[in-house]
Amino acid sequence: SSVLTQPPSASVAPGKTARITCGGNNIVISSVHWYQQKPGQAPVLVICYDNDRPSGIPERFSGSNSENTATLTISRVEAGDEADYYCQVWDSSSDHWVFGGGTKLTVL
Amino acid sequence: EVQLLESGGGLVQPGGSLRLSCAASGFTFASYAMSWVRQAPGKGLEWVSTIDDSGGSTYYADFVKGRFTISRDNSKNTLYLQMNSLRAEDTAVFYCAKQSTTVTTAFDIWGQGTMVIVSS
């Protein structure tokens, strides 16, 4: 079954660009979804199907997926973007959903 | 407004059972796949189970191993998770989530979660 690897933490200064990676075997053939979770809150879908933004998600959030690595990019980072971010794929070989371990984004 | 409201969590002894419920409103519940995801204290998200729109197809994480059963009552707009033979390691916040359409689509709406504590 799939295993998704994320860096445990990342940090970025306000106004700069944050990039959070999600690595996995054959991830390029899957659609990757990304969730944001702030402390004490439920997760929120921020990117679906590699690079689609649900309604209400700022254009500053974007995604890409190539060569076994998916990337969530947050441009012009704001203090309110500080959160845990999780990638997710559907593993069709096992009919299981898989989450990455999560990346804690700190805004300096 | 699309809303999911979980209930049924609480303190249970090891080996005990609980049934979680997730009441849906603001959308046509019977048209969407639904899932349960859990999060142990201080840990990441962990998928538990998924059910298709009709309830005819269900999927489970390996750690469930026949202990949990997902079901839905489309006439009551409610999703369920029956949990038996609970273990200390099942202690977590359990979230229900609506999927965009089918079982392989993103989780676009989440409830606020219900806490399950397994302890003697």
Instruction: Report pLDDT digits (tens) over B79-99.
Output: 999 999 999 999 999 999 999
Check pLDDT > 70 for residue A27.
no
How many whole angstroms separate alpha carbon A105 and alpha carbon A8? Answer: 9
Question: Residue B64 phi/psi, 5° resolution?
Answer: -70, -45
Q: Tens of pLDDT along A54-102?
A: 999 999 999 999 878 999 999 999 999 999 999 999 999 899 999 999 9
Residue B30 sits at the vertex; the CA angle it makes with B25 and B34, to the nearest 5 degrees, is 80
Mapping DSSP to helix (H, G, I), strand (E, B) and coil, where does residue B89 land? helix
The residue with tokens 């933490």 is: A9
Contact residues, chain A, for B103 at CB < 8 Å: 90
Check pLDDT > 70 for residue B34.
yes
Band of the pLDDT at B26, cuts 50, 70, 90?
very high
pLDDT (average), residues B24-53: 98
pLDDT (average), residues B40-65: 96
Check pLDDT > 90 for residue B65.
no
pLDDT (average), residues B64-79: 96
Band of the pLDDT at A30, cuts 50, 70, 90?
confident
Mapping DSSP to helix (H, G, I), strand (E, B) and coil, where does residue B78 land? strand
What lies within 8 Å, CB to CB, of B30 at 6+ separation is B53, B54, B74
The residue with tokens 């704001």 is: A78
CB distance B51 to B33 below 8 Å: yes
CB contact under 8 A, A99 and B107: no
Q: What is the pLDDT of residue A66?
A: 87
CB contact under 8 A, A99 and B46: yes
Q: What is the pLDDT of residue B29?
A: 98
Cα of B74 to nearest chain A Cα, Å:
23
Check pLDDT > 80 for residue A28.
no
Band of the pLDDT at A25, cuts 50, 70, 90?
confident
CB distance B39 to B30 below 8 Å: no
Picking from A97, A98, A103, A105 by the largest number of B CB atoms within 10 A of its own CB, the best residue to mutate is A97
